[in-house]
Amino acid sequence: MSKDYTFNPGDFVVYPAHGVGQVKEIQQTAVAGQNLDLIAINFNKDKMMLRIPLNSAKKSGLRQVADASVIDSAIRTLKGKAKVKRAQWSKRSQEYMSKINSGDPVAVAEVLRDLYKNPAVAEQTYSERQIYEQAMGRFASEYAVIHHMNESEAASAVESILQSKSSPIKTSL
């Protein structure tokens, strides 16, 4: 992932707690008698504008969108075998949410891989589905920016990758 912490209007960035947004402007605001440089980030999907102090952008986890090599690594993770621990669901769900909120595409891909269930074979519980959809939204939004497509196309592409690794074995009668 890029270690560059210079942000310009129009750049797509990832904020771990919200996913992909676009830098609208870098503005200077007076707060408590001091001038503060703020990065204004627009999250269209959530209809939200977030302002982060420029000097704490790195600490908050704000980063540039991942490059193609990181996404390729995440795709390899998606294609891997699911690693579901035998721990209680409450503990696993906390781990999954922690990975999603880390902002790391490979960690989010691990959640997708581990929670994916082929609809033709098995059903997900409501809470599994909620976490899966949150992970898919985060991953697909970054995938979409990198591959210049909309989020629904990106989600379909990611779903195809997951489906291809777990397609049911056809038997002839």
CATH (domain of 110) = 1.20.58.1290
- Same domain? 90 vs 146: yes
Whether the per-residue pLDDT at 30 is higher than 80: the answer is yes
Report yes or no: 82 and 122 within 8 Å, Cβ to Cβ. Answer: no
pLDDT value of position 120: 67
- pLDDT band at residue 4 under the 50/70/90 scheme: low
Say how far apart CA 143 and CA 49 lie, in whole Å. Answer: 22
Task: Kindly state the average pLDDT of the residues 96-111.
Answer: 94
pLDDT value of position 144: 93
DSSP for 82-118? Answer: ----SS-HHHHHHHHHHHHHH--HHHHHHHHHHH---
Q: Please, is 56 exposed, middle or buried when counting C-beta atoms within 10 Å of its C-beta (0-12, 13-18, 19+)?
A: exposed
- Same domain? 88 vs 137: yes
Whether the per-residue pLDDT at 29 is higher than 70: the answer is yes
Residue 144 CA: distances (Å) to CA of 20, 30, 148: 10, 36, 6
Split into its structural domains, the chain has a count of: 2
Report yes or no: 105 and 151 within 8 Å, Cβ to Cβ. Answer: no
Whether the per-residue pLDDT at 1 is higher than 50: the answer is no
pLDDT value of position 118: 73
pLDDT value of position 148: 92
- Same domain? 93 vs 106: yes
pLDDT value of position 173: 35
Whether the per-residue pLDDT at 169 is higher than 70: the answer is no
- Same domain? 113 vs 154: yes
Q: What is the pLDDT of residues 124-161, one digit of tens each?
A: 889 999 999 999 999 999 999 999 999 999 999 999 99
